[in-house]
Structure 1
């Protein structure tokens, strides 16, 4: 049961970290409305309670193949199948749902061959799985990097963006070895300081700074603020499966990106043209959202939808039954 409510200052802090995940506390202080020491202490408390954290994953600047798999299970073995799948590095997220599938599994593989091996060899041998439908990603138009809590005023968000420019890649780039080590460090501590990176990787501080800036600027690694959804103002998650005429897929998908509720929009090669994940304040808001879609995008046919009951794994991190992050991150290269 939920026993904690994020207060207004918490939500302002988290919105600020959505915009600039690694911003110094001193830079966030005047925007959020608390001193740097208080912000650092509050962030530590939120992390320790599993209510907020920084997730990291391969971005568009790195080579990867994404897919979303609908999984049907024997009812008595859903938990067993979930636990088995959650151990795999290729499995980025798992949602347990009600509707036309028991699990929605998000995969992030290095190559199509790796994806084929997982779907054809690994997934088919998971105990309790009775059926699957795999949707190979074609284009990711939006993920939760763009989604905002809307706790800051628009001018405050713009001020933060203007005062803290995005990192710029170093001219010489970074070696594969340093990149791999740095990516591993950021998975465990997304706000690791340059000094901590330098010490952990046994490189100079200037090299550590250049490596960090390059990795993030080239989007080979993405850092993203995450929070325990059941404790947020948007506790309801819903997957939508849409079919759109081939000539209108890009246009419709682009318009979906602009909806405030949207966390993910992807075009796929499969039964559905577009997959979309939204967060809502109430289950009843599904009706409002679907009416808006019908009015604004009449060519987008909702073939199915499913409500998320639990998310045992999210962006490489294991979660408790009430959506809190378990301290040990299990996703690795």
Structure 2
């Protein structure tokens, strides 16, 4: 299991994944070698993993992303997971309670590519009985923005101050895209290791990593086994009047449990996931939404007893990382 210091390290690296152990040791008042040793232990035990990826296609536009709800034939869910977990466009796979067996996140350069992929690849997997696809519209909170809140406000600010500053948003370049691929499955990979992968000078690689840390089109993540960490995840679908959509999303964002939230196409026009210490926390979230927005309706809710894949990382039944499948822009 995790302890308070493990969560503090995770929280700090979610803010700045490249902060030095020496600087973080000063902020947490802990010996840097202890921090390094703990990080090596939790990643070596496959309880924590990291990723860096870009969210644009070859035309420098946002990827098209869809939620694909799948109903499986009885007894075939695991075989479906095994078939789809190695697919690069299938970014995440959640096992859920309720009307569907799996919820997939699929990302490709455009909606035509997503539509064809879902029909020809996902739909042809033996054991898939039915599918329903909805497209993301506006993401109100990214999963990479969720925190375990293990740092004090002062500590979190101090870690934020270690991030490089940029006058303008760095534009994608061949070097930066190469670096994203090189650092994709290990955000703490040393500069020397990155240099060996991209074949550029140490100074160019160092400047490139600093640029990626502030680039709006790059996402950095530190994820951990929620089951081993004592959290469980739920998914909520809402039908929200368009005039209230931003206010409902803003209200949800105020809950520290909220992990991710996006508007979407379909009968339910808002979807959210929350990380809970206790399932009863869901009652308070729903109560607040019901009181403040009486015309908003929760159309469905599901517990996520298992996450089989998250942002390219395949996760086993024991909630530990098995392998990384880099996802591409097609």
Q: TM-score, with normalisation over the residues of structure 2?
A: 0.92
Distance 1:209 1:167 in 2: 14
Q: Tell me the equivalent position of 2:173.
A: 175
Are 1:224 and 2:221 counterparts? yes
| 1:170 to partner: Cα distance | 8.4
Note the C-alpha offset of 1:100: 1.2
Cα distance in 2 between the residues matched to 1:28 and 1:315: 26
Structure 1: give runs of 5+ residues left out of the alignment.
none
List alignment gaps of at least 5 residues for structure 2: none
Q: Which residue of 2 aligns with 1:332?
A: 327
Paired residues of 2:67 and 2:135 also in contact (CA < 8 A): yes
CA distance in 2, matches of 1:199, 1:331: 19
After superposition, the CA RMSD in angstroms is 2.0
SS in 2 for 1:224: strand
Give the Å deviation of 1:103. 0.3
CA contact (8 A) 1:70 1:133 kept: yes
- Decide whether aligned partners of structure 1 residues 171 and 257 sit closer, same or farther in structure 2, where only a CA change above 3 A counts: closer
Aligned residues: 325
1:46-195 counterparts in 2 under 5 A? 46-59=42-55, 63-162=62-161, 164-168=162-166, 175-176=173-174, 178-195=175-192
What is the alpha-carbon distance in structure 2 between the residues aligned to residue 172 and residue 29 of structure 1? 29
Q: Deviations over 1:242-266 (max 9, x none)?
A: 0001222122122212211100100
CA contact (8 A) 2:48 2:225 kept: yes
User: Does structure 2 conserve the Cα–Cα contact (< 8 Å) formed by 1:167 and 1:216?
Assistant: no
Question: In the TM superposition, what is the alpha-carbon distance from 1:108 to its structure 2 partner?
Answer: 1.6
Work out the CA distance in 1 between the residues paired with 2:160 and 2:89.
33
Alignment equivalent of 1:294, drawn from 290, 293, 296: 290
- What SS is found at the alignment partner of 1:98? coil
Q: Secondary structure at the match of 1:212?
A: helix
For residues 35 and 62 of structure 1, the distance between their equivalents in structure 2, rounded to whole angstroms, comes to 43
CA contact (8 A) 2:234 2:275 kept: yes
Alpha-carbon distance in 1 for matches of 2:327, 2:67: 19
| Offset at residue 167 of structure 1 (A) | 4.8
Q: 2:26, 2:123 → 1: CA distance?
A: 53
Say which SS state the counterpart of residue 145 (structure 1) adopts: helix
TM-score (norm 1): 0.91
Q: 1:91 to 1:169 in 2, by over 3 A?
A: farther
